[in-house]
Amino acid sequence: MKKPLIILTGPTAAGKTKASIGLAKAVGGEIISADSMQVYRYMDIGSAKIRPAEMEGIPHHLVDVLDPEEDFHVVRFQQMAKEAMKGIYKRGHIPIVVGGTGFYIQALLYDIDFTENEGDTACREHLEQLAREKGAAYLHAMLREKDPKSAEDIHENNVKRVIRALEFYQQTGIRISDHNAEERKKESPYNYAYFVLHDDRSRLYERIDRRVDRMLEEGLVEEVKSLKARGLGRDKISMQGLGYKEIMAYLDQEMTLDEAVYTIKRDTRHFAKRQITWFKRDSRIRWYDAAAYADTSALGAAYDEKRLLARMLDELEKRSIIEKEDR
């Protein structure tokens, strides 16, 4: 019998955190973060990390568990998430995967084998050297020539993933996009419900801009200064996250603070757009448009939490993930 799994995702600033707490309370769930930045300690403001008070007693996994000097990637996420799920099932609870990193969610949901070829380090070192000498754009152009689909999916600044895709092709002669597409045809080993929380683009973009302004007010510049003082540079995966690399550029006097803030807002909006495109690929996803659950009684609220939760619980009943008496 397949074990239950709930996924709640959506673009950045869509309101996932608030919705996930209500859902976890309703079904007896524990939350596993599928966020590539909230996993890091000392990176609270720029990652919009959930605060302990906001957790409302709900256990959260894969939050504040790695130092920013450590690498975090899809394979490590799979391993850590599966380990967390073992404990959650043992306690008789339901894991709820929450976050906007669709690549990570897909890997866990379909148990995708992202084969890592550790034997040929010379290939990887050569590609890393090319990145240092000729830049990320050069490496990304190489990928576009060998694997156009991967080049479309992977941003050129994500050098680690670009290198991995090139390395996979050079070692196997197979495009990693083709490999992953075959893996996605697998049936999920879980009895799952996959929810995406979305909103009108203009409202979403307004919330992104407000979130960035709030990050600056809460001390994003000071947070990045402290990370820089630890010896962290933009070559580290943790420092390539939105908000961090731009403030690092400001601290390195490569742009003004106004330019950095403008770039964070612009690139976060672009990121949200890419997230939506990613989620639209999977027809098995259940979409919830926040505008359809507008909370007219609360100024500025993204949605009516109770109405949205009721619809999600109805869907979970249909999929036999919960029983009616569990509600």
Q: Is the pLDDT of residue 137 over 60?
A: yes
- Please give the CATH number for the structural domain made up of 3-112+186-326: 3.40.50.300
What pLDDT does 297 receive?
A: 45
Strands (E), the chain: 3-9, 29-33, 60-61, 94-98, 190-198, 286-289
The ranges assigned to domains in the chain are 3-112+186-326, 121-183
What pLDDT does 14 receive?
A: 86
Q: What one-character DSSP code corresponds to residue 11?
A: S
Q: 268 in helix, strand or coil?
A: helix
Q: Which residue has the higher pLDDT, 323 or 28?
A: 28
Which residues, in sequence order, are CB contacts of 311 under 8 Å at separation 6+? 288, 293
Check: CB of residue 299 under 8 Å from CB of residue 13. no
Note the pLDDT tens digit of each residue in 74-84: 889 999 999 99
Cα→Cα distances 47→62, 127, 241, Å: 13, 29, 8
SS3 sequence, 114-143? CCCCCCCHHHHHHHHHHHHHHCHHHHHHHH
What pLDDT does 300 receive?
A: 44
Q: Is the pLDDT of residue 33 over 70?
A: yes
Q: Which amino acid is at 290?
A: A
The DSSP code sequence of 241-294 is: STTHHHHHHHHTTSS-HHHHHHHHHHHHHHHHHHHHHHHTT-TT-EEEEGGGG-
Q: 258 in helix, strand or coil?
A: helix
Q: Is the pLDDT of residue 154 over 90?
A: no
| Average pLDDT of the residues in 171-194 | 84
Rounded to the nearest integer, the mean pLDDT of the chain is: 89
What pLDDT does 181 receive?
A: 76
Note the pLDDT tens digit of each residue in 195-242: 999 888 898 999 999 999 999 999 999 999 999 999 999 888 899 899
Reported as a pLDDT band with limits 50, 70 and 90, residue 299 is very low
Q: Which residue has the higher pLDDT, 308 or 118?
A: 308
Note the pLDDT tens digit of each residue in 110-136: 988 765 555 457 788 888 888 888 888
Beta bridge partners of 295: none
Note the pLDDT tens digit of each residue in 4-19: 999 999 998 888 998 9
Give the strand pairing for 94-98 and 60-61. Answer: unpaired
Q: Which residue has the higher pLDDT, 1 or 29?
A: 29
Between 30-34, 42-46, 269-273, the lowest mean confidence (pLDDT) is in 269-273
Note the pLDDT tens digit of each residue in 241-260: 999 999 999 999 999 999 99
Q: Which CATH architecture has domain 121-183?
A: Orthogonal Bundle (1.10)
Residue 309 to residue 158: CA distance in whole angstroms: 35
